Amino acid sequence: MLTALDDLTRRVDELVVRVERLEADQQAARTDRDRLEGEGTRADAPRSDQDHDDHDRLTTLEQTVTQLETQLSTTVDRLDGLEANEPDETTETHQTDEPDETHTTHDQTTPTDPDPIEARLTAHERKLAANKDRIAELQSRELEKGAHLLAATVDVDTVEVPENRLERIRKDDGRQYYRLPEQADPLERGGSVTLAYGDLLPIQQLARMDDEMLRSAANALPTRLAAKLWQARTDPSVGDDPWEPGCKDIAEYVTASDLKHWIRRQEPGISDTYAKKLVSRVIDAVLDLSNNRVAVRKRNQRKNGLEYTERRLVLPADVEIPGETTTDDSRGEGSRGEGSSGEGSSGEET
């Protein structure tokens, strides 16, 4: 904008100079014409021709001056118009920016339209929650009637039953079910109950836990070792089994010396002295957690010509272990394993 104004101003100055020169020439031509007219008849023919030429020249100069004045007037008007419009354009530009800012602010403050996909997802979530509540209500009422429901289909956190207690059991079909404690299934689905979790000995319950659960359930090292020792007896997949088959009235046993070496294999880094102390503590833990199903007996041994007495942790053949059978086999009068019981009831409040 400033460059255009400068160019117009420069052109106006040039035109003004040209007009002034032409006006001076016009004034000189008029003076010459008046002088020639005053001489009258004294002018001869050649002089008359000269006067005619001067008259034509004067006319041409007048036309040129008139054109230049018109052009100068037009240029000045245009320049005035540009100068007058410059602040208006600046103001207009500023005013034009303000609606944009207002529009931007409006866009920022105006809430966006709800996403139709998100709205559909919300509706589906509400429908699923309502259906889940209906299923939980139906399952709660069926459990109260004595039904045994498949564990995979029951959400124990939503089912509401008396005293908030459910029992998880396993039946002859190998599947797990939930029921109210000691409730028989009127439909007798899945066969009879093989073994309930609450019927297991404490040491059996601990032996079925993984390492993380066992560590959270039993803080004492002797208790955890007692559970692992029992698991080694009943679970062939463990591998490191210190138990030995017995004879006559003893189903299985483990000697104190073998137990010491087994402890050191289970807990690398402990000393032999500490392992000897752990032997007595582990035996006490097994006795307590098995509800005295096992016993401690002493037997005289001879080694390298020396006789000594060694303790043994024995499992009598006639003792009843939940889930285990007592049939004759090559290992003695008792057989390992806990039947097909698997996990029984939780017996826990939900």
Among the listed residues 334, 310, 312, the one whose alpha carbon sits nearest the alpha carbon of residue 323 = 334
Q: How many domains does the chain have?
A: 3
Q: Are residues 18 and 94 in the same domain?
A: yes
* 37's tokens: 């007219």
Structure confidence at residue 303 as a pLDDT band (50, 70, 90):
confident
H/E element, 298: strand 295-303
**Bridge partners, 313 (sequence order):** 254, 296
Q: Are residues 45 and 104 in the same domain?
A: yes
The per-residue pLDDT for 83 is: 62
The per-residue pLDDT for 22 is: 74
Other C-beta atoms closer than 10 Å to the C-beta of 345 total: 25
**Helix, strand and coil in the chain, % to nearest 5:** 60, 15, 30
d(CA 233, CA 253) in angstroms, rounded, equals: 10
Query: SS3 for 313?
Result: strand
Specify whether the CB–CB gap between 40 and 34 falls below 8 A: no
In a domain, residue 343? The reply is no
Q: Are residues 88 and 162 in the same domain?
A: no
Specify whether the CB–CB gap between 343 and 177 falls below 8 A: no
Q: For 96-108, what is each residue's pLDDT tens digit? A: 444 444 444 444 5
The per-residue pLDDT for 333 is: 38
d(CA 280, CA 278) in angstroms, rounded, equals: 5
CA 221 to chain centre: 38
| Domain limit, last residue, from 79, 109, 139 | 109
- Side chain identity at 263, as an amino acid letter? I
Q: Are residues 96 and 9 in the same domain?
A: yes
Q: Are residues 76 and 15 in the same domain?
A: yes
Q: Are residues 315 and 231 in the same domain?
A: yes
| Domain limit, last residue, from 196, 217, 249 | 196
Q: Are residues 207 and 317 in the same domain?
A: yes
Specify whether the CB–CB gap between 178 and 167 falls below 8 A: yes
pLDDT at 124 over 60: yes
| Domain limit, last residue, from 109, 142, 174 | 109
Q: For 304-337, what is each residue's pLDDT tens digit? A: 778 778 899 999 988 888 766 443 343 333 444 4
Structure confidence at residue 40 as a pLDDT band (50, 70, 90):
low
In a domain, residue 336? The reply is no
Least confident of 176-185, 244-253, 328-337: 328-337
Domain ranges, residue 298: 202-321
d(CA 292, CA 247) in angstroms, rounded, equals: 20
In a domain, residue 185? The reply is yes
In a domain, residue 33? The reply is yes
Q: Which residue has the higher pLDDT, 187 or 180?
A: 180
The per-residue pLDDT for 229 is: 93
In a domain, residue 258? The reply is yes
In a domain, residue 15? The reply is yes
* 22's tokens: 């032409």
d(CA 98, CA 94) in angstroms, rounded, equals: 6
Specify whether the CB–CB gap between 134 and 306 falls below 8 A: no
Q: For 128-163, what is each residue's pLDDT tens digit? A: 888 888 998 998 988 888 888 888 888 888 888 887
The per-residue pLDDT for 334 is: 40
For β-strands 306-316 and 250-255, DSSP reports them as: antiparallel
The per-residue pLDDT for 327 is: 37
pLDDT at 278 over 90: yes
φ and ψ of 195, to 5 deg: -165, 135
Q: CA angle 178-182-185, nearest 5°?
A: 60
